Amino acid sequence: MIKMDTHATEITRQDGVEFRSVYLRLEDDGGIKMNAQDIGPTVTRTWGSDDYEFWVRVPPAAVSKLALELLREKGQLDAVLPASASKLALELLREKFSGQLGAVDAFRDWCKAHGVDHKFEIWP
């Protein structure tokens, strides 16, 4: 079941022994974060922990560029951003990456290819 609230949406989920959940979130400061959580035997063997999380965060100052690049990709080359560029970017990202278990890595690669400021981090 895909979960959603006003600031976060689970865009894909794999249940079972090798669990993965991917969320897309509008953060309180206006930044956007896509994060994944993995749980299972592979995580334990690889990381020595039963939980592994990784994410891409686009800071608030880069969200307008993110939204513009997403619109351009859809062919809207002369798009004018609404005041709520972060909500637009969130919706466009949801459309683009929903259902993809590899969404976080794909989003990181997409940001690199489009010159969108971002940071990739892991835990633990």
Write down the pLDDT at residue 27.
Answer: 93
Q: Which residue has the tokens 């976060």?
A: 8
Give residue 9's pLDDT. 92
Residue 3, pLDDT > 70, answer no
* Rounded Cα distance, 38 and 14, in Å: 9
Q: What is the pLDDT of residues 61-92, one digit of tens each?
A: 999 999 999 999 988 877 667 678 888 899 99
Mean pLDDT of the chain: 90
Closest CA to 116 of 47, 40, 77, 62: 62
Q: For the residues 32-42, what does the mean pLDDT come to?
A: 96
Q: Are 29 and 43 in contact (CB under 8 A)?
A: no
Neighbours of 122 (CB within 10 A): 10
Task: Say if residue 95's pLDDT is above 80.
Answer: yes
**pLDDT exceeding 70 applies to what percent of the chain?**
91
Q: In the predicted model, what is the mean pLDDT of residues 1-29?
A: 84
Tokens of 55: 């994410």
